[in-house]
Amino acid sequence: MYVPAFILQLKELDEADNKLRDSMYPYAASMFREFHKYKAHYSAALQCVAEVDVFLSMAQASAFSPNGDMVRPEFVPVKDAQKVWK
């Protein structure tokens, strides 16, 4: 059971919350616009970090094999890898 004054306060709070959210949209849009200018740099950095992560994971997995007979990957140049996969 709600008291009418409480319902009015809830409506005011909801309106204030909506105004606050609406005021954040221009800021968020400008922030994403700035971020997008440097997307290529972030993507390149992320790709490098991802590759290092893969190599570290492979090294860790092969170093701590319980029975010592872990299969180790063979890395080939990209031009040779395309021949293998075709």
Q: pLDDT of the chain along its 86 residues, tens only?
A: 568 888 889 999 999 999 999 999 999 999 999 989 999 999 999 999 999 999 898 888 777 767 766 666 777 777 665 555 55
Domain boundaries, the chain: 8-60
61, 70 Cβ separation under 8 angstroms: yes
Cα(63)–Cα(40) distance, integer angstroms: 35
**By the 8 A CB rule, do 70 and 62 touch?**
yes
